[in-house]
Structure 1
Amino acid sequence: MAATRPGRLPGRHRRSPESQATYGEVIAIGEFRALWGGQCLSLLGDQLAQVALALLVYDRTRAPLATAAVYALTYLPPIIGGPFLAGLADKYARRHIMIVCDLARAALVGLMAVPDMPFFVLCALVFLVVLLSSPFTAARAALLPEILEGDRYVAGSALQNMTNQAVQMLGFAAGAGLIAAIGAHYGLALDAATFLASALIIALGVRRRPPPEPDGSVPVSMWAMTKSGARLVFGDRRLRVLVLFAWLCGFYVLPEGIAVPYAATFSRDPQTVTLLTGLLMAAMPTGTVIGAFFFGRCVTPTRRLRAMGWMAMLSCAPLIGCAMRPPVAVVLALWALAGFGGAYQLAANAAFVQCVPANRRAQAFGLVQSGLLGVQGIGILIGGAAAQALGPEPVVALAGAAGLSVAALLAMLWTESRAEIITRVRTQVT
């Protein structure tokens, strides 16, 4: 083909099947930089808001369940509306969907920043803001493979993942101090500004593309599209296994939801609890940054797929050590090691892309993302209730043991399903 494909750098030699894309190649693509930069800005604002909310609720109630419930509120809305809204990015231009969602979220978060906002109104605004993340995330996930081809998609996903986790580390570790300095309302106003900046960056940096070609076999109503997307995702054995790998995070993300009461087991001093909360929340993202760099840069594409089961088990197994009630330094190390194992999601994501038609990607990604947020929210909510009765340490250990059992089963199922996907990946990176 004479024309240069989107996302392919001219002048490059053809790759061998096991060669890997570099981060430099990916960063050189302007559209990727726009998606990457906008995502980082809005995520940083969100982390500041989450830290402020968690600390405020625990300070008022001293109840792990209440703290976990508010934290879970940021995960649960996509269960209700996400699968329906994600399909919009398969009907309309994906760039347009992202810009509209960012502008709407900026307006909603701006209302949240108004002083003396009634609590139930605030909860409703939080619900709507998180709900709009579903079509935005689905549109971005569907657009990324059009910008990055082959192993560049994996490298770009790894770079986004590392940056996202680094932003979470910064937001969790420094968020409490910043919120203490500027106040919760100004923190929310800052969050609104990051959504506006994200919309501007996407508008200027991502080129216009027509809407995806319609699939004549898929009905046009949102309900029918949702059912069709569910049949696509769950009707294929390979996709079912990959979706369950993605949803495994419901077990290993649980500690973040009870980080405040966990920190309170080490100290009664409020300032120390605040500091330890930031460190605990940052531990897993730190491990994931390291794991994503190693997994994306030092492991070949097919070896990533073969190692996926073992890495998934590593994402849960270290949490079992919390049953021994180790000192805080050991807890941080265990949580970071679990985060390292969570880098297997890069391989699962790349394999999922190989198995889904391009014009059905947004709906498929939206369904998976909605379930992903849902299992995290439900897991955190259950964890908070259990921590209130049993204490945070045994609850984290139980989550690790349950997750390890599920990961081992998925690893066995994946061994039976991966051969065809490995062949596709080899062809794609050639």
Structure 2
Amino acid sequence: MGAMRTRRLSGRHRRARERQVTYGEVIAVKEFRALWYGQGLSLLGDQLAQVALAVLVYERTRSPLATAAVYALTYLPSIAGGPLLAGLADRFARRGVMVACDLIRAALVAIMALPFIPFPVLCGLVFLVVLLSAPFSAARAALLPEVLEGDRYVVGSALQNMTNQAVQMMGFAAGGAVIATMGPYRALALDAATFVGSALILLAGVRRRPAAGQDGDKPSMWKMTAAGARLVFGDKKLRTLVLFAWLCGFYILPEGIAVPYAVELYTGVLPIPVITGLLMAAMPTGTVLGAFLFSRFVSPPGRLRLMGWMAMLSCAPLIVTAIRPPLEVVLAAWVLSGIGGAYQLAANAAFVQRVPSEQRGQAFGLVHSGLMAVQGIGILAGGYAAERLGPEPVVALAGGAGLMAAAVLALLWTESRSDTPSRMRPRAAA
């Protein structure tokens, strides 16, 4: 009788732990609000700058490859310095890393806003700005599980993701009109101001915490990077989760060739910049919807079970572009692809549970760097192929290749989840 009651209580406790946390509970946390507001503010400025750059380059060159190459420039710096710089999030206080990165990026973008800056220097400044996003993102990602615990972390991540995608959606959709009104240099000045605003919000809303690493002599950045790589890639489940995250290299590709695709879809009704904005906003729109449904109405265990299917959904709709459908069908397919991309929430939460806190910044930094790299390489390859084949078949090929990769990962994930979880429990407790 006593054993039966113990089982009932433990079952009740388990159900309590697995209940869906509300968005109100997460927003009530002051530190989360600061992280949330700061990220959304700086991202809004970035979207305006990206749209202006993409349209400007294509108008000058009429080259899908050149347009994709400039767009890829916002991803590729992470290959070079991301893995090393991400370790700063474990080496120093994470709030301080974020504030320093914001202020340095504000200064660099302010220089970019000067009209007399030569184009090669402008590209170099873009490289540096993106390079600093690696330690900032690693620090923010490592800090969030300390601010939100348990399923609050998943719901908080979903809320951040929805906000980020909504900001991208608004920035891309309205970017063309805003750039036409204020010009590209004023848009860059606005981007610099958003970085300053983000730093001030972080200073006011996030309390200072000591560095996550041990006191005393700190290991070199190379040793921290090597240790992080061994942790992430030496564990079967972590390795599979990382590959799930990097799958976005396939379904992010259409954004990089949105301008030449808009030219193909142009019928004289809507201007090309408006079509470009709609295309670039379609996937973020789907991601907002998918993240809301996935985090609000699917239980934590259910998210893990559906992760493989959602990953396949993120790529499969893109195949429809092979038949050269009209704009309405393309937008619907890209929105559906964005809904499937909500699987990243489950992958992110499972990754956090398995990584020790003192190595979280380095681990997230490595994943983020790889994430940026696969997106940049995918966009660059897509632009090269689109210049020869046209944008429609390239998007369809990316969808087909991504679908096959997602199916393989779904099988690997199912196999890894069937393994005994005894090795996972100590790390999840950390």
TM-score, structure 2 as length reference: 0.93
Aligned position for 1:127 = 127
Query: 3-state DSSP class of the match of 1:404?
Result: helix
Distance 1:314 1:244 in 2: 16
Aligned position for 2:294 = 295
Does the CA-based 8 Å contact 2:18-2:151 persist in structure 1?
A: no
Number of equivalent positions: 415
Greater CA drift, 192-201 or 264-273:
264-273
Distance change (3 Å), C-alpha of 1:355 and 1:428: closer
Letter of the aligned partner of 1:263 in structure 2? A
Q: Does 1:247 align with 2:210?
A: no
Q: Does 1:335 align with 2:351?
A: no
Matches within 5 A, 1:105-116: 105-116=105-116
Distance 1:198 1:15 in 2: 38
Aligned position for 1:313 = 312
Distance 2:70 2:362 in 1: 28
Deviation (angstroms), 1:272: 1.2
Does the CA-based 8 Å contact 1:150-1:428 persist in structure 2?
A: no
Distance 1:159 1:310 in 2: 22
Distance 1:43 1:28 in 2: 22
Greater CA drift, 413-422 or 178-187:
413-422
Matches within 5 A, 1:343-362: 343-362=342-361
Aligned position for 2:394 = 395
Does the CA-based 8 Å contact 1:354-1:421 persist in structure 2?
A: no
Letter of the aligned partner of 1:54 in structure 2? A
Deviation (angstroms), 1:71: 0.2
Deviation (angstroms), 1:420: 6.5
Does the CA-based 8 Å contact 2:355-2:428 persist in structure 1?
A: no
Q: Does 1:202 align with 2:208?
A: no
Deviation (angstroms), 1:325: 0.4
Does the CA-based 8 Å contact 1:215-1:359 persist in structure 2?
A: no
Distance 1:286 1:203 in 2: 31
Aligned position for 1:117 = 117
Deviation (angstroms), 1:409: 0.2
Letter of the aligned partner of 1:354 in structure 2? Q
Aligned position for 2:5 = none
Does the CA-based 8 Å contact 1:106-1:196 persist in structure 2?
A: yes
Does the CA-based 8 Å contact 1:248-1:407 persist in structure 2?
A: yes
Greater CA drift, 268-277 or 227-236:
268-277
Distance change (3 Å), C-alpha of 1:284 and 1:175: same
The Cα offsets for residues 92-138 of structure 1, whole Å up to 9 and x where unpaired, read as: 10000000000000000000000121011000000000000000000
Does the CA-based 8 Å contact 1:99-1:203 persist in structure 2?
A: yes
The Cα offsets for residues 183-236 of structure 1, whole Å up to 9 and x where unpaired, read as: 1100000000000000000000001111113299x9711111111111110000
Does the CA-based 8 Å contact 1:176-1:278 persist in structure 2?
A: yes
Deviation (angstroms), 1:15: 6.1
Deviation (angstroms), 1:54: 0.1
Q: Which consecutive residues of structure 2, in runs of 5 or more, have no partner in the other structure?
A: 1-12
Letter of the aligned partner of 2:176 in structure 1? A
Deviation (angstroms), 1:296: 0.4
Distance 2:61 2:164 in 1: 30
Q: Does 1:102 align with 2:102?
A: yes
Does the CA-based 8 Å contact 1:254-1:396 persist in structure 2?
A: yes
Aligned position for 1:189 = 189
Letter of the aligned partner of 2:146 in structure 1? E
Does the CA-based 8 Å contact 2:89-2:361 persist in structure 1?
A: yes
Query: 3-state DSSP class of the match of 1:16?
Result: helix
Distance change (3 Å), C-alpha of 1:341 and 1:421: farther
Q: Does 1:374 align with 2:343?
A: no
The Cα offsets for residues 138-180 of structure 1, whole Å up to 9 and x where unpaired, read as: 0000000000000000000000000000000000000111011
Aligned position for 1:8 = none
Distance 2:224 2:191 in 1: 33
Distance 2:338 2:375 in 1: 15
Deviation (angstroms), 1:373: 0.4
The Cα offsets for residues 10-58 of structure 1, whole Å up to 9 and x where unpaired, read as: xxx9962421111000000000000000000000000000000000000
State the percentage of identical aligned residues: 72
Does the CA-based 8 Å contact 2:91-2:218 persist in structure 1?
A: no
The Cα offsets for residues 285-320 of structure 1, whole Å up to 9 and x where unpaired, read as: 000000000000000000000100000000000000
Q: Does 1:45 align with 2:45?
A: yes
Deviation (angstroms), 1:270: 10
Aligned position for 1:77 = 77
Query: 3-state DSSP class of the match of 1:265?
Result: helix
Distance change (3 Å), C-alpha of 1:107 and 1:29: same
Q: Does 1:93 align with 2:88?
A: no
Report the RMSD for the aligned CA atoms in angstroms: 1.9
